[in-house]
Amino acid sequence: MTYRGRFAPSPTGHLHFGSLVAAVGSWLCARHAGGQWLVRVENIDPPREMPGSAESILAALPAFGLAADAPALFQSSRLAAYDDAFEQLKAAGLAFPCWCSRNDLAGGLHLDGHCLAPPNPQRPPAWRLRVPDQEIRFEDALQGPQVQNLRTSAGDFVIRRVEGLYAYQLACVVDDAFQGITQVVRGNDLLDSTARQIHLQRCLGLPTPDYLHLPLALDGSGRKLSKSGQAHPVDPTQPLPALRRVLDFLELPVHARARTPAELLDHALAHFDPTFLPHCSERIAA
Ligand code: GLU
């Protein structure tokens, strides 16, 4: 099977250090395997999006030497496919409408397999997936063996929100399958989503790709970079310093005399072996 990897940014801001780590890591894994590298813009949550962000990210990638093998897929163009998956889950009796408020759940998980609040015809429901009391196991290529019981870790999780927007988990698995992704390489903040995604793949009869979660980039005070208040944007007009820092973060060789992003990436690729990537869940970015 041909290797297909992807980079799937949410257009909530400019490309930042953490997302450049995911882009470079997924690109190197794909090129090392002689495979394809695709880009998907995860724009299914308009309230969280920043105008111009998708264009800014898509323009920045080639400036960092990262060229995709196909035009970017925009999730906003895929709503019919999410509708189909949602109907499939409903028809299989796996999804249920839920009017529970945050207060009803009292900060806990939704575990009952059906909504506890009375149906309210005045208000559209969220839709949740009923999860089984069963361990989901997978081997992460970097983080090692993983096991998660969705009942105790996630509960009956939302696949379609009250506003009618599809949840990231649903859109992600539908599109990973649609794009024929064989390995998902992304930041370790998403390791926790993987069991939910594998469960959804099983419910929908979709293949499960391999997973590799890269260490999460933290700032000096130990907070996730994108959440730390400083966005740590990277400057595509000066790509070399940020690219050097990303390679360093991934413990890859940095060509001291490289004068273009392509030279830096080619040098890193020539020495690349995914098993040598840092086997840690997070690290401080220099
Ligand atoms: N869109 C997600 C993000 O930017 C990443 C999704 C993924 O790689 O699965 O955090």
Give residue-wise pLDDT tens across range 260-281: 999 999 999 999 999 999 999 9
Give yes or no for residue 212 CB within 6 A of ligand 1: no
pLDDT of residue 213: 98
Determine what percent of the chain is predicted with pLDDT higher than 90.
Answer: 85
Give yes or no for residue 8 CB within 6 A of ligand 1: yes
Give yes or no for residue 197 CB within 6 A of ligand 1: no
Q: Give 114: exposed, middle or buried? Use CB within 10 Å, 0-12, 13-18, 19+.
A: exposed
Q: Which atom of ligand 1 is nearest to the CA of 172?
A: 9
**Residue 192 CB neighbour total at 10 angstroms:** 13
Whether residue 164 is predicted with pLDDT greater than 80 in this model: the reply is yes
Please state the domain extents for the chain: 4-77+170-284, 79-160
Task: For residue 134, report the distance from its CA to the centre of ligand 1, in Å.
Answer: 26
Would strands 36-41 and 4-7 be described as parallel, antiparallel, or unpaired? parallel
Q: Which atom of ligand 1 is nearest to the CA of 19?
A: 4
Give residue-wise pLDDT tens across range 189-228: 999 999 999 999 999 999 999 999 999 999 888 888 765 5
pLDDT of residue 36: 98
192 close to 14: Cβ distance less than 8 angstroms: no
Give yes or no for residue 171 CB within 6 A of ligand 1: no
Whether residue 133 is predicted with pLDDT greater than 70 in this model: the reply is yes
Give yes or no for residue 9 CB within 6 A of ligand 1: yes
185 close to 277: Cβ distance less than 8 angstroms: no
261 close to 239: Cβ distance less than 8 angstroms: yes
Give yes or no for residue 42 CB within 6 A of ligand 1: yes
Confidence of residue 256 (pLDDT cuts 50, 70, 90): very high
Chain centroid to CA 36: 18
Write down the mean pLDDT value for the chain: 94
pLDDT of residue 222: 83
* CA neighbor of 51 nearest in space, from 83, 91, 11: 11
Task: For residue 249, report the distance from its CA to the centre of ligand 1, in Å.
Answer: 19
Whether residue 25 is predicted with pLDDT greater than 70 in this model: the reply is yes
Q: Note the residue count of the chain.
A: 286
Would strands 144-149 and 135-140 be described as parallel, antiparallel, or unpaired? antiparallel
Give yes or no for residue 234 CB within 6 A of ligand 1: no
Task: For residue 193, report the distance from its CA to the centre of ligand 1, in Å.
Answer: 10
Q: Which atom of ligand 1 is nearest to the CA of 187?
A: 8
Q: Which atom of ligand 1 is nearest to the CA of 12?
A: 4
Whether residue 231 is predicted with pLDDT greater than 70 in this model: the reply is no
Give residue-wise pLDDT tens across range 60-117: 999 999 999 999 999 999 999 999 999 999 999 999 999 988 777 777 788 778 888 8
Mean pLDDT, to the nearest integer, of 33-47? Answer: 97
Determine what percent of the chain is predicted with pLDDT higher than 70.
Answer: 98
pLDDT of residue 104: 78
pLDDT of residue 230: 57
Buried b (16+ CB within 10 A) or exposed e, 149-174: ebbeebbbbbbbeeeebbbbbbbbbb
Whether residue 131 is predicted with pLDDT greater than 90 in this model: the reply is yes
Fold of the CATH domain 79-160: Glutamyl-tRNA Synthetase; domain 3 (3.90.800)
Kindly state which CATH superfamily the domain 4-77+170-284 is placed in.
HUPs (3.40.50.620)
Mean pLDDT, to the nearest integer, of 114-132? Answer: 91
pLDDT of residue 109: 82
For ligand 1, mutation pick of 21, 170, 179, 186 (most atoms within 8 Å of CB): 186
Task: For residue 119, report the distance from its CA to the centre of ligand 1, in Å.
Answer: 33
Q: Which atom of ligand 1 is nearest to the CA of 6?
A: 8
Give yes or no for residue 209 CB within 6 A of ligand 1: no
Beta strands in the chain (DSSP E): 4-7, 36-41, 73-74, 95-98, 126-129, 135-140, 144-149, 157-160, 183-187, 210-214, 216-218, 282-284
* CA–CA separation, 85 and 78 (whole Å): 11
109 close to 149: Cβ distance less than 8 angstroms: no
Task: For residue 186, report the distance from its CA to the centre of ligand 1, in Å.
Answer: 7
Mean pLDDT, to the nearest integer, of 7-14? Answer: 95
